[in-house]
Chain A
Amino acid sequence: MINISHVTKEYGDKKAVDDISFEVAKGEIVGYLGPNGAGKSTTLKMLVGLLKPTSGKISVADYDAETELQEIKRQIGYVPEEAHLYEHLTLVEHLQLMGRLYHLDEELIAQKVVELTKLFDMEPQTNQRISSFSQGMRQKCIIMSALLHNPSVLLLDEPFTNLDVNTVTFLKALIQRMADLGKTILYCTHILEVAETLCPRIMIINEGKLIANASVAELREQTNQEALNEIFVQLTDTTGVDEKTDMAVRIVMGVPSDA
C-alpha cells in the first residue's frame, strides 16, 4: 500500500531523511519510531505531499506521488504532530469544512459530524469555537477530521498527545479495528509501550537513516534486549545511559571533567 524507495530529503547540507526504503502492506500497522529530529515527521510530510522529496520514489495505493499526488491525498487521513487549526471556527464548522473539501455530500457530513462528536464525547463542544478548546480537544478534532472521509491509509504522527486515558484506550482499539478492516496505518510515536502492543512491525529511524525494520520479536533477538525501550536505546543512543547519567550529575554538581 505504501511504498518508499531510496527517498532522501535535504535541507541545504543537512539530510533530514537519508536514502530510506520501506513498504507497508494493506491492513498492516507499522510503528515508526525514532529520537527527536530523526526524520519521522519529515517522512510523513513527504507521504502526504506537504514536502517534496529531494530524490527517491514514493507511491501510495499504486499511485505515484510525483504524478498522482491528488489521488494519494484522497487515500490518506493525516494526523499531524502539531494541532494547528482555524480557531475562529466551531467544531462543527471545522468538520463541515473538511468534509466539503473532500467533496462529501452535505447530508453525509452532517450525519458523520453528529456521530463522531458523540463518539469522541465532544457533543457539548460542537458549537464552541476551537480557540476555547483544550489541547486534548484540539487533538480529538484533528483525529475526527482525519477519519471523516473514510481514508484507506492513516498516517498518525503522535496521535495520542494530550489525550486522556479513556480516549487513548478507545483509539488503540479503533486503530486495531481499522487495520482489521484493511486500512493501512503508519504510526509515529515516542510512546514505546503503545507501539509494542499495537504494532506487529517496528521501524526505527535515526539521523535520517532507517536502522531497523522488523517485528518486535525479531528485534529482541537481534539486540538481545527484552523491552522495546531498551532495544530503542541500544539502537539509537551512541552514548550509554549510565555514562550519560554520570556526565549529567557531574555537570549539575559542578565537578570538572578531569577530576
Chain B
Amino acid sequence: MLEKIASLFGIPFVQYKYLLHTENTVSKRAIEGRPHVSNILNYVFGFIISASFFYIPLLTDISIYNYALIGITVSMVMIAIWTLPYFDILIYPINYPIVAHTPISSRTYFFVKLTQILSYTIKLLICLNLLPAIAGIWVRSEEYPNLQILFPLVYLTIAFISGFFTIGVMTTFAGFFTKLYAHKRLRSFAKFSQGLFPFLFSSIWIIIYFLPKNIPADTVFDGLSAAAIWFYALPNGWFAATVSVMLAQIEVIYLILTALATVSTTFLVLVPLQSIAKTYSKYLTYLIETDTKQTSMMKVKISKYAKIIKSRTILAGLCMSSVYFYRDKRMLHGILAILGGTGGFAFMLMQADSLHLGWMLKSYSSGLNITFFVLSSFFGVSLMSAFLSNVRYSEHWKASWMFKVIPLTTPLDLWRGSQITSILYIIIPYTLLLSAIAIYFWGVTGILYVLPTLVFILYNMLFHPKPASGLPFSEEINPKKGIMGCAYFIYFNLAMMVFIFILFTAYWIDTSVYFWVYCIIVVGGLIGFVYLFTKKQRNNTVESQT
C-alpha cells in the first residue's frame, strides 16, 4: 500500500523508508543533550489536559458551539506551542549535508520531512482530542439529540483539520518568528508555555468546580458564552462553528464561519506546503537527481480552463493575469487595501443598529436599498479596477516585446483574458460575499439587493479603460496616474446616480412599475453583458480573418 502511494508521487519506496528511519534517528539525536520536553511527556500532558473535558458537559448545560470552542482552542494552542521548537529540526532541512552526496532526490527528502511532521502532529492531536470527543456525547443538543452519537466522529475530524490549519499558520509564520527571535529564545518560550498553559487551563476548571455555592456555575458559563461571541473573529471560533453545523445546529453565522474555516484551511495547508517545498528546493538543488523515475514523472499541468476557453490568446491572457493576480505584490496590496474597506463596510452594516445607523438598512422595496447599492458598487468597482488598472501597467513592461513579435491577430483577446480573470477572481467571490451579507439581513430575498450591484460592476468592467496597445502588462508604471483615471471616476459616479435615479423614479411611480424596471435592468443587463462580451470577440475574429 505504502509502496503504491510512494510510486504515485514518484518516490522510490526503499530510499524513502530508510531515509525516514535515518532522519528520525538524527532528529532524536539533534535534541539530545539540549534542554527539551520529550515527545512522550507531551503526549501524556495532552491526555491529562484533555481528561478534564469530562467535567464540562457534566458541570453545566453547555452548547455544542461553546464546548467545541473550548476543546478546539486548547488543541490549537497546544499544537502551536509544541511544534514551535521543531521548526529548525522538522521544517528546515538542517540535515541535508548528511545526505547531499547521496543519490536522493529533493522530492524524496521533502516527503520524508512531511511524514515526520504529520506523524508527530497526528499523535499530538489524538492525545489532545480523543477524550474531549468522547465526552462530547453528553453535551446537550435540544434540536437533534440522536445526532449526539456522531459527536466524536465529527469533533475528531474537525479537530484534526484545525490541527493541520495550526501547523499551516505556524509554518507560514516560521520564517517570521525565526527572524524576530533567535531559535534559542523561541525554544525557551515554547518550553515555558508548555508548562504554563496546561497549568492555567487546569486551574480555571478547578476554580469553576469549587466556586462558592452562591455563584452558580451556570452564571459563570453564561458569562463565558457571551465572551465566546468574540471568538467568531478567530479561527478556533470558525472550527467550533463547523462542528455545530455538522451536528445540525444550522445558523447563518455558523454557516459563514464554516465557509471561512473551509477556505482558510485549504489556503493555509497549500501555502505552507509550497513554502516548505521551496525552502527544500533552495537547499537541495545540488542533491544528485539520479532517480530516472522522477525525471520521467515531470509533468506540465494543463490549465483547467483549456477545455472551456477555445481561444488560445484569451486563455494565455487569463492564465498570465491570474498568476500576476497573486504574485504581483503591487496588485495584491491594492486589492487587499480595498478588501479592508469592504470588511469595514460589512462590519458597519452588521453593527448598524448598535451604531444608531439603522436607517442604512432601510429598504423601500425588495432590492432597493441605497446604502447597500452605493457602498457595495463602490467597493466592487474599486476592487475590479484595482486589478484591471494594474494589469495595464507592469514593472516588467519591457517584456512586452514578446507580444509584439508574436502573430497576434486579436491582441484585445489578451485583455479579454484579463477581464475573465477579474470575473473569476474578483467579481464572483465578491458577489458571493455580498450575497452572504444580504441574506444575513434580508433572508433569501437578499439576493435581489445584490443583483443590481453585480450588473453595475460587470458593465464597469466591460467599459474599463483598456491599454493603448490593447496588450496587458505592456505599459510602464506611472505614479502620476491613480488607480482610477479621473474621467473614469466621473463616469462611474454619473452612472451610479443614473442607476439609482431610474430605480427610484420607477418606485415612486408605482411598486409594480419598479418591479418591471428592476427585472429589465437585471435580466436585460445580464443578457446584454453576455452579448456585448461575446460580440467583441466575434468582431475581433472577423477582423483577424479579413
Contact = CB atoms under 8 A, between A and B. Distances in A.
B405 A73 contact: yes
A107 B327 contact: no
Nearest to B414: A101
Contacts of B299: 110, 114
B295 A88 contact: no
Interface in A88-135: 88-89, 92-93, 96-98, 100-104, 106-107, 109-110, 113-114, 117-118, 123-124, 126, 128-129
B293 interface: no
Nearest to B314: A100
Interface string B322-349: 0110011000000000000000000000
Nearest to B318: A100
B278 to A, nearest CB: 8
Nearest to A117: B298
Interface string B400-411: 011111111100
A39 interface: no
Contacts of A145: 402
Contacts of B401: 50, 80, 84
B407 A89 contact: no
Contacts of A89: 320, 323
B405 A50 contact: yes
Given A93-B319, A100-B316, A101-B313, A86 B473 contact: yes
A84 B298 contact: no
Contacts of B327: 88, 129
Contact of B319 (A70, A73, A100, A123): A100
Nearest to A109: B300
B399 interface: yes
A74 B398 CA distance: 21
B402 A98 contact: yes
B324 A106 contact: no
A92 B404 CA distance: 21
B406 A86 contact: no
B285 A124 contact: yes
Given A100-B316, A126-B298, A85 B403 contact: no
Contacts of A187: none
B312 A88 contact: no
A80 to B, nearest CB: 6
Contacts of B394: 86
A85 B399 contact: yes
Contact of A74 (B302, B316, B328, B407): B407
Contact of B406 (A92, A101, A118): A101
B312 A101 contact: yes
A193 interface: no
Interface in A40-99: 48-50, 70-71, 73-74, 76, 78, 80, 82, 84-89, 92-93, 96-98
A124 B281 contact: yes
- For A106, A107, A109, A118, which residue has the most chain B Cβ atoms within 10 angstroms? A106
A118 B405 CA distance: 26
B320 A48 contact: no
Contacts of B405: 48-50, 73, 76, 78
B300 A110 contact: yes
Contacts of B319: 93, 96-97, 100
Contact of A102 (B281, B302, B320, B406): B406
- Listed residue (A50, A92, A100, A118) with the most chain B CB atoms within 10 angstroms of its CB: A100
B312 A96 contact: no
A137 B180 CA distance: 34
B280 to A, nearest CB: 12
A84 B406 contact: no
B220 to A, nearest CB: 54
Given A88-B324, A100-B315, A101-B316, A113 B406 contact: no
B306 interface: yes
A55 B316 CA distance: 35
Contact of A106 (B281, B295, B302): B302
Contact of B396 (A88, A102, A118): A88
A37 B125 CA distance: 68
A101 B303 CA distance: 14
Contacts of A117: 298
B399 A114 contact: no
A212 B485 CA distance: 53
Contact of B289 (A80, A82, A124): A124
Contacts of A103: 312-313
Indicate the member of A85, A97, A117, A145 with the most B CB atoms within 10 Å.
A97
Contacts of A86: 320, 324, 394, 396, 399, 473
B409 A70 contact: yes
Contacts of B409: 70
B328 A101 contact: no
B315 A93 contact: no
Contacts of B315: 100
Interface in B369-427: 394, 396, 398-399, 401-409
Contacts of A123: 289, 295, 298
A98 B406 contact: yes
A85 B396 contact: yes
A4 B256 CA distance: 67
> Which of A86, A102, A107, A128 is the most central at the interface, judged by chain B CB atoms within 10 Å of its CB?
A86
Contacts of B316: 96-97, 100-101
Contacts of B320: 86, 89, 93, 97
A101 B404 CA distance: 11
B313 A100 contact: yes
Nearest to A103: B312
A28 B410 CA distance: 33
Q: Nearest 8 pairs between A and B by C-beta?
A: A100-B316, A110-B300, A73-B407, A84-B398, A88-B327, A70-B407, A84-B399, A100-B312
25 contacts: A50-B404, A50-B405, A71-B407, A73-B407, A74-B407, A76-B405, A82-B398, A85-B396, A85-B402, A86-B320, A92-B301, A98-B402, A98-B406, A100-B315, A100-B319, A101-B313, A101-B402, A101-B403, A103-B312, A104-B312, A110-B302, A114-B300, A117-B298, A118-B298, A129-B327
Given A110-B302, A114-B298, 8 more contacts: A87-B399, A88-B396, A96-B303, A97-B319, A103-B312, A107-B302, A109-B300, A110-B301
Interface of B: 281, 285, 289, 295, 298-303, 306, 312-313, 315-316, 319-320, 323-324, 327-328, 394, 396, 398-399, 401-409, 473
